[in-house]
Structure 1
Amino acid sequence: MNKVLIPVDGSSNALLALKHAVKIYGKDAHTEIHICNVQPKIYRHISKFFSKGDINSWQAERAKETARTAAEYLEKSGVSFSFTHVTGDKGEALNNEAIRLGCSRIIIGSAKKNTLSRLFENSTTAKLLEISDIPVEVVTGKSISTLERWGIPAIGAGAATALVAAVID
C-alpha cells in the first residue's frame, strides 16, 4: 500500500501539493492519502491558565478549519483520505506522523525561496529534507517577493559583516 502524507496549512502552496498528489496518485486504489495539520505548542506560561482538554479541543478545531479547503477538494475529486493533526515543531511533527502512519512518501508544497530565506524562516521543507528518511516530494508554488528574495539575504549579510567587524575590534 502506498501511503502519502500531505501537510495542509491553508496556503496556496499546500493546495498545489494536494492537487499534484490527486493528479498523480488520486485514482490509484492502492494509495492512501493522509492530510495533516500541525498546530503550534502552547507555551507553558500560557497553558497553565487552561485545561489540557480545552487546549486540545481548541487546537483540533483550528486544525479542522485550516484543513477544510483541502478536505473539500479531496471530497469533490472523489478521493478517499484521512485527516490528522499534530502539535509541535512542524518538520519534526510531520516526520513523526509520517512514520506513525507508515507513509511511503511526504508531498509538501513550498514557495520558491533561496537557501538564506529558508534558514532564517525555519523552513518546514528544509527541516523535512534534513531529518526525514521518508522520501519528500516538493511541489513548488509561486516565487517569493523581491523583498524576501533580496532583503533577507542582504540583512543577513549586513548582520554577518557587523558581527565580524565587532569581533575584529
Structure 2
Amino acid sequence: MNNVLVPFDGSPSAKRAIQYLVDFARSNPNLSVHVINVQTEPTFFGNHGSPSMIEQFRTAALEYAGVINAEAVTLLGAANIRCKSHEVLGDVVTEVIQAAAKYGCDTVVMGTRGMSNLGNLVMGSVANRVVHEVPVPVLLVK
C-alpha cells in the first residue's frame, strides 16, 4: 500500500480513514495519498436554468468539495504525508473507479458510512459498491 485513494466526504468515518493512514505512514514513509471528493452534478428540470447559472452551481459544488478536502489535506500534511486533492462532479463510485486508475492507486481506503447530499441517509451503500466495483484492494475503516 504505497499509492492510496481516499474518497473523503468529511464524515466521522472518512476522518477515521485519514487517521488510519496517518498511523500507517509511521511504518511506511513512502505513502502517497490522493484525496477525492465527489459532488453530484446540479440537476435542473425543464428550462429553469441558464447555462451561466448551471456553470455557477458547478463551480460552487467544486469549491465546496475543495473546502471538504482541505481538512483531510491538512491532517495528512501535518503528518508529512504526500497528498493531492481532487474535486470532481459525477457519480461517486464511477469517479472513484476512474480516479484509482488515473492516479495508479494500488489501494482505496475509505470509511464505511458517509454523508450523502441529504445528510447521513445512505449508510454504507457507496462503500459496498466501491468494494465490488473497484479493481484494486479496498480497506474499509469503521
TM interval, shorter chain, is 0.7 to 0.9
Greater relative CO (CA pairs within 8 A, separation 6+): 2
Q: Which structure is higher in helix share?
A: 1
Q: Tell me whether 15-24 or 86-95 shows the greater mean CA deviation.
A: 86-95
RMSD of aligned Cα (Å): 2.4
What TM-score, normalized by structure 2, do the two folds share?
0.80
1:44 Cα deviation (Å)? 4.2
Shift in CA distance, 43/53, structure 1 to aligned 2, threshold 3 Å: closer
Residue 2 of structure 2: aligned partner: 2
Structure 1 segments, 4+ long, off by >3 Å, are none
Assess, with a 3 A threshold, how the Cα gap between structure 1 residues 59 and 123 changes in structure 2: closer, same or farther. same
CA deviations 1:116-159 (Å, max 9, x no partner) are: xxxx757110110121111111011xxxxxxxxxxxxxxxxxxx
Q: CA 1:122 to 1:136, structure 2 compared with 1: closer, same or farther past 3 Å? A: closer
SS at match of 1:103: coil
Query: Is residue 59 of structure 2 the alignment partner of residue 49 of structure 1?
Result: no
Q: Structure 1: any 5+ residue segments left out of the alignment?
A: 112-119, 141-169
Cα distance, 1:2 vs. partner?
Answer: 2.3
Report whether the alignment pairs 1:124 with 2:126: yes
Question: Residue type of the partner of 1:68?
Answer: A
Contact 1:37/1:85, CA 8 A, preserved across alignment: yes
Question: Residues 26 and 71 of structure 1: is their aligned pair in 2 closer, same or farther, counting only changes over 3 Å?
Answer: farther
Counterpart residue number, 2:76: 74
Q: Determine if contact 2:108/2:136 at 8 Å carries over to the other structure.
A: yes
Q: Which residue of 1 aligns with 2:135?
A: 133
Identical amino acids, percent of aligned pairs: 23
- Whether the 8 Å contact between 1:92 and 1:127 is mirrored in structure 2 is no
Query: Post-superposition shift, 1:48?
Result: 3.5
- Counterparts of 1:63 and 1:122, CA distance in 2: 20
Q: How many residues matched?
A: 132
Q: Who is 2:35 aligned against? A: 35
Quote the Cα distance in structure 2 between the aligned partners of 1:109 and 1:26: 20
Name whichever of 121-130 and 62-71 sits farther off. 121-130
What SS is found at the alignment partner of 1:45? coil
Amino acid at match of 1:14: A
| TM-score normalised by structure 1 residue count | 0.69
